[in-house]
Amino acid sequence: MPVGPASPGLPPSHRIARRFASAGLRGASWYWRLARLAWPDPEPGVVVLPDGTPIVHDPDDWTCRGSYEGTYEREILRLLPNLVLHGDVVVDVGANVGILTARLSRLVGPTGLVIAVEPSPRCVDDLRWVLEGMSNVTLVQAALGATKGTVSFTGWDNPDHRGLGTAVPGHRAGLEENWHDGATIEVPQRRLDEVLAEFVDDGEIGLLKVDVEGYEADVLNGAPDLFRSGRVRAAIMEVTPGLDADWVGDLISDSIGYRAFAICERGQILRRTDLQPVGASEAVSRSEQWNLLLQRDV
């Protein structure tokens, strides 16, 4: 999808529907149907949300559509203001098309820094449009892993999921069953500790977010002392069962001075973000994909 200059914002009916959806109101999809009857979607491109955050809008793409409607990663987006401080250094590994990156840029402000890491050339093209003018964001086009060099990365050029991609061989095979037309390319791979040394020296990391479709353990192996040092104040990581999920149990056990939570949503009418304390053994035994929050004790 060609991405062009930002549109002025959402139509009025879309603003109302998005407010309901982002609040977690059950049945919000019906409000969206009515909203689109009243006013069609803007043309595909960069759209500025009511809070000032720019996003890539493409109604045919799952990630972009969810970002526009207020459902994509909403439980995490609600948490960010409670985790990130003005002036923080934060790292977004697996930036995708930039919905979290752009929000983090606003939260850390002009004195903070967001390091956005993304290996997919297609997503990077979108990111450059979304992040245009954000002087507090540094974009690193690479995968992160245990070693420096190159890695085979498979991206799926599927019209419904532009950001889907992975560097995990076993995971690629499973995804191919659903997405079929994956193309594998060689992309640069760097270590997390190397990237941090380049941009932030030994300072505190306010938030580390890692969402890389099963490659999370490899990312952390590129900075093995990061949590033992207490340098990270908070971390959010996606956990994919069936892909050697033992790493998450080891991480929770070894991260002395951190509390571990499963990020979820609860509520009958309004779905609100909920944090459930989780131990190492329970984390390994979970059967569905979930997000882990590690928070350093004060």
**Cα dihedral 240, 242, 244, 249 sign:** positive
pLDDT exceeds cutoff 80 at 83 = yes
Q: Which stretches within the chain are classed as H helix?
A: 12-22, 28-38, 62-69, 74-83, 99-108, 121-130, 169-179, 192-200, 216-221, 246-254, 280-285
Q: What is the mean pLDDT of residues 4-17?
A: 80
Q: What is the pLDDT of residues 32-80, one digit of tens each?
A: 999 999 999 999 999 999 999 999 999 888 889 999 999 999 999 999 9
For the chain, the structural domain boundaries read 12-69, 74-296
Whole-prediction pTM? 0.90
Number of residues written out for the chain: 298
Backbone angles phi, psi at 280, to 5 degrees: -60, -45
pLDDT exceeds cutoff 70 at 165 = no
pLDDT given for residue 137 in this prediction: 98
Q: What percent of the chain has pLDDT over 90?
A: 66
Among 25-34, 147-156, 161-170, 199-208, the minimum mean pLDDT is found in 161-170
pLDDT given for residue 180 in this prediction: 47
Residue 43 CA to residue 176 CA, distance in Å, equals: 30
pLDDT given for residue 9 in this prediction: 80
Residue 95 CA to residue 211 CA, distance in Å, equals: 8
What separation in angstroms does the CA of 99 have from each of 63, 105, 123, 239? 9, 10, 11, 20
Q: Which residue type, as a one-letter code, is found at position 188?
A: P
pLDDT given for residue 115 in this prediction: 99
Backbone angles phi, psi at 289, to 5 degrees: -65, 135
Confidence of residue 254 (pLDDT cuts 50, 70, 90): confident
pLDDT given for residue 285 in this prediction: 87
Provide the CA 176 distance to its chain's centre, in angstroms.
22
**3-class DSSP state for residue 174?**
helix
Half-sphere exposure of 139 (CA within 13 A, CB side): 24
Q: What percent of the chain has pLDDT over 70?
A: 87
Confidence of residue 116 (pLDDT cuts 50, 70, 90): very high
Residue 230 CA to residue 258 CA, distance in Å, equals: 8
Confidence of residue 171 (pLDDT cuts 50, 70, 90): very low
pLDDT given for residue 183 in this prediction: 72
Q: Which residue type, as a one-letter code, is found at position 52?
A: G
In contact, 265 and 290? CB cutoff 8 Å: no
pLDDT given for residue 2 in this prediction: 47
Mean of the per-residue pLDDT values of the chain: 88
pLDDT given for residue 182 in this prediction: 61
Confidence of residue 184 (pLDDT cuts 50, 70, 90): confident
Query: According to CATH, what is the number of the domain 74-296?
Result: 3.40.50.150
From the list 123, 105, 96, the residue with the least C-alpha distance to 3 is 123
pLDDT given for residue 288 in this prediction: 85
pLDDT exceeds cutoff 80 at 176 = no
Would strands 182-190 and 149-156 be described as parallel, antiparallel, or unpaired?
antiparallel
Among 5-14, 95-104, 203-212, the minimum mean pLDDT is found in 5-14
Residue with tokens 């004790």: 297
